[in-house]
Structure 1
Amino acid sequence: MSNFNQLIQQHFGPLSVEDLNTIRKYFREEKLLKNEFFTKSDLVCNRLSMVKSGILRSYALSDGKEITQWLSVPDSFITEAVGFFFNQPNRWNIQAFTEVELLTITKTDYQKLCKEFPKWNEIEKQFIIKCFMMMEDRIFSHLSMTAEERYNRYFDHQKELFTQVPFQYIASVLGMTPETFSRIRKRQAEKS
């Protein structure tokens, strides 16, 4: 992560140094070891984090199979929204795929920040809108793009993941079988 202040402003727009200092004091450094869980399904997630380094995988089990929903990389946010925002049991497990460094705010501190810094409510709204837009974009791509178009788009935006995580995880994120992913990958390699 280049800088906490830059990341906050990149996601939420310009803020004064004083505002940034107020926000920053609520976030704590946290490390997860490889395979350690950030949160598990059926628990209630009690933290929101910015990924400084490493990769986390959000996944669920369905009919004995793991479905990878998301891969979080540096400079992104991670939480289990149903748990964190609505105090309901998580749908997803979030696990460190590598060693991970985070800047984390707990649910308790998040609520304190909202009281101390009323402007945070607008920032929270922007965060939720961005999450909604990302999910809308993902749904649109699954409904309107071919598997190969989805592959190419993800490769263009997350190229480094193709050398860092097993392909079945990326295939799952893209809504395709590992076999389809392999066929597309082979075709792409032949074009190069």
Structure 2
Amino acid sequence: MEGLGAFLGEQGFDIDQQAHVVQQFQRRALQKGDLYVQEGQISQYIGIVEIGVFQYFCLRDGDEVTTYTPGPGGFLVSLSSFLKQKPARESIRALTDSVIWVIHKSAFDQLRSDLPSFESFYIALLEDQINCIEDSRFNLLTLTAEERYRKLLDNEPHLLQEVPLQYLASILGVTPRHLSRIRGQIR
């Protein structure tokens, strides 16, 4: 709970608010390969990653397409499924042994109505997610594969050690073989 409380303190919650919010979360340990969200099911939880790396992915023509890989401090949610209570279009899987903090939608909604600071936190969370989606879309459409790889090196170098090559290739929109060539050229 200390980790979650510290995280909430960084988000501007005072001590009493932190205690109230932390009581609504549950700590969950996942093993490498465990699913947090399964495509086709309704997402009932938002999670915050304390330890570990996760993979958002969907199946396309029988192949996994990785769309996002959050690590510590990142949020875990199939956003449209959670917000609209519709089946998830993607799955979320632990790529490493992980620890997360989860809150059920009903408790989340109650916090939003009880605490104005939590509502502000929620709006900031949504804005951050929208920016991430926009950046990702823009980069995929305007940057070359080499430029996307360099950006990954600059912004998230830890992923190169923590995420298997085939998932990184999928995020970058290239085949694992093409990514190997890019890595060889850039080293």
| Aligned match for 1:87, one of 68, 85, 88 | 85
Return the letter of the residue paired with 1:138.
S
Identity, % of aligned positions: 26
Return the letter of the residue paired with 2:155.
H
Out of 106-115 and 35-44, give the one that drifted further.
106-115
Partner of 1:69: 67
Q: Distance in 2 between matches of 1:164 and 1:127?
A: 25
Which residues in structure 2 correspond to 1:16-27 (within 5 Å)? 16-27=14-25
- Deviation, 1:138, is 1.1
Partner of 1:4: 4
Taking structure 1 as the reference length, the TM-score comes to 0.90
Which residues in structure 2 correspond to 1:25-64 (within 5 Å)? 25-64=23-62
Which residues in structure 2 correspond to 1:78-157 (within 5 Å)? 78-157=76-155
Taking structure 2 as the reference length, the TM-score comes to 0.92
Secondary structure of the 2:136 match is: helix
5+ unaligned residues in a row in structure 1: which ranges? none
Moved over 6 A (4+): none
Deviations 1:68-108 (A, max 9, x none): 11112111111110111110110011111111100111112
Partner of 1:171: 169
Secondary structure of the 2:137 match is: helix
Secondary structure of the 2:96 match is: coil
- Deviation, 1:9, is 5.0
Q: Distance in 2 between matches of 1:117 and 1:16?
A: 11
Q: Distance in 1 between matches of 2:27 and 2:117?
A: 23
5+ unaligned residues in a row in structure 2: which ranges? none
Q: Distance in 1 between matches of 2:126 and 2:153?
A: 25
Asked if 1 retains the 8 angstrom alpha-carbon contact of 2:13 and 2:117, the reply is: no
Secondary structure of the 2:69 match is: strand
Aligned residues: 187
- Deviation, 1:134, is 0.9
Q: Distance in 1 between matches of 2:166 and 2:44?
A: 29
- Deviation, 1:139, is 1.3
Distance 1:160 1:2, change over 3 A: farther
- Deviation, 1:23, is 1.7
Q: Distance in 2 between matches of 1:182 and 1:9?
A: 41
